Structure 1
Amino acid sequence: MNIIMQSLRSPAFFKTKWPMIFLGITGLGLSSVSVAATPAENEAVRVGLTKNIERIEIKTATETFIIERIRDPAHTIPPPFDKTSRPCPPYCIQPIRAGAHVETLGELETISWLQKRAAGDNVVILDVRLPLWRERGTLPLALNLPLTQFQQQLPHLLERHFGARHQGKDWDYAAAKTLVLFSNGPWDPDAYEAIQILLAAGYPPERIKWYRGGMQSWLSFGLTTVQPQ
């Protein structure tokens, strides 16, 4: 599958040649590419991921993704994510926690799980939005399983995608995958509701992660998205 990277940058960025050095960053376990500026570049605006991490390279067996921020400081959040207010219900502010022992992730933690997924760990990145939303762009390596499928086809998802096994009326989650769910943002209930469905089915909460900020937050930081084919 070919993925088109949406890495928008300012025209000035293409006029510079950034020497790359590879670093291993501890703490979050992020493997990164750090950029060392030359004297001529010292006056240029730098937009890194953190103070010490310029960008992050994520490799799979067949693809390479570069997670970085748009380097144009005048760039703004694209529509429709530039809105501050939506009708509530249904688009209400979601709680900070989706359940006991369900971890809420920020951007750096989400990137760390993307790296684990790329490395072959037992992880699924789940975009639970409708395909029409996903077509606007999504996170690298994300599998699109809309909330409606959780509501209507949960047994199928558990067995085919999440590593659970059906045992009579019960489920065996011994080999269940770690799921990282996201939707459009803190105002979008879809990921939260999908997590509630999983918890009600007995899915281990410690194997559920919630990127609460979703696409709204991801885009607000100017982070790399991919266009599904």
Structure 2
Amino acid sequence: MKQLFAAVFITSVSFSQVSAEELDVRINGEIGSVTVETVDGPVEIMRNQDPDATIDPKYAKTSRNCPPFCVQPIEVAPGVTTVGEIEVLELAEKGIKLIDGRTLDWHLDGTIPSAINMPYTEMASRLDEIGCTGGAGNWDCTNAEEVLLFCNGPWCGQSPMAIKAMLREGYPPEKIYYYRGGMQAWHSLGLTVVEGQM
């Protein structure tokens, strides 16, 4: 069952919701679950406890036409840090804004708890939402926020295109994290997915 949530960034995270010992399927040896506070209340991120669970068929395809579905490099751009699931949770704990760079239809169908939707097609015009001032073609990103972008997975170019647009507009690369595994890896690990919001 999907949980409804408000499209907001994380205000606080606690790694103590469920101890690792209480679960058969843990995030790792120390972390059982992570609770993310949103304006609609807490959302617990944990792995599916059903040992017979399978991946959502939308993320089970292995062969998609390239282009546009080409395998993305680990390093999307110099200075941008690529991360995995544990780092996503650690960055979330620090209050880093999670940005779903996919188109709205994908976002509405399911996303990482607390992620906001900033589609790659709109990124260059929405940098004011993440600390820049000015406007397209004339952004001042001196006070840019640290952000983490993701999309559908290693074969998805939406968040890499968003990151490249950000860099082109002057966003500092050291303030960008890229979760290359995206929703495909998130689903494959059975981590909590919630419905996206407009």
| TM-score normalized by the length of structure 2 | 0.85
Percent of paired sites with the same residue: 39
**Offset, 1:35:** 4.6
Report which structure shows greater RCO (CA 8 Å, sep ≥6): 2
Structure showing greater radius of gyration is: 1
1:31 is aligned to 2:19: no
- Indicate if the aligned counterparts of 1:114 and 1:140 stay in contact, CA closer than 8 A: no
**Offset, 1:51:** 1.0
Name which of 81, 85, 95 aligns with 1:107. 85
Give the match's secondary structure for 1:171. strand
Q: Which residue of 2 aligns with 1:86?
A: 64
- Structure-2 change in CA distance of 1:36 and 1:50 (3 Å): closer
**Offset, 1:135:** 2.2
1:188 is aligned to 2:156: yes
* Unaligned stretches of 5+ residues in structure 2: 6-12
Once the two structures are overlaid, the 10-residue window that deviates more, 141-150 or 88-97, is 141-150
1:54 is aligned to 2:32: yes
Give the match's secondary structure for 1:210. strand
Q: Which residue of 2 aligns with 1:219?
A: 187
Structure 1: distance between partners of 2:118 and 2:80: 19
Residue pairs, 1:188-207, within 5 angstroms: 188-207=156-175
Name which of 128, 134, 139 aligns with 1:166. 134
Name which of 95, 99, 102 aligns with 2:73. 95
- Indicate if the aligned counterparts of 2:151 and 2:159 stay in contact, CA closer than 8 A: yes
RMSD: 2.3
- Structure-2 change in CA distance of 1:90 and 1:48 (3 Å): same
Aligned residues: 187
Structure 2: distance between partners of 1:146 and 1:80: 19
1:77 is aligned to 2:58: no
Give the match's secondary structure for 1:147. coil
Structure 2: distance between partners of 1:58 and 1:158: 24
Give the match's secondary structure for 2:97. strand
Structure 1: distance between partners of 2:182 and 2:56: 14
Structure 2: distance between partners of 1:174 and 1:186: 30
**Offset, 1:207:** 0.5
* Unaligned stretches of 5+ residues in structure 1: 6-28, 38-44, 118-122
Q: Which runs of 4+ in 1 moved over 4 A?
A: none
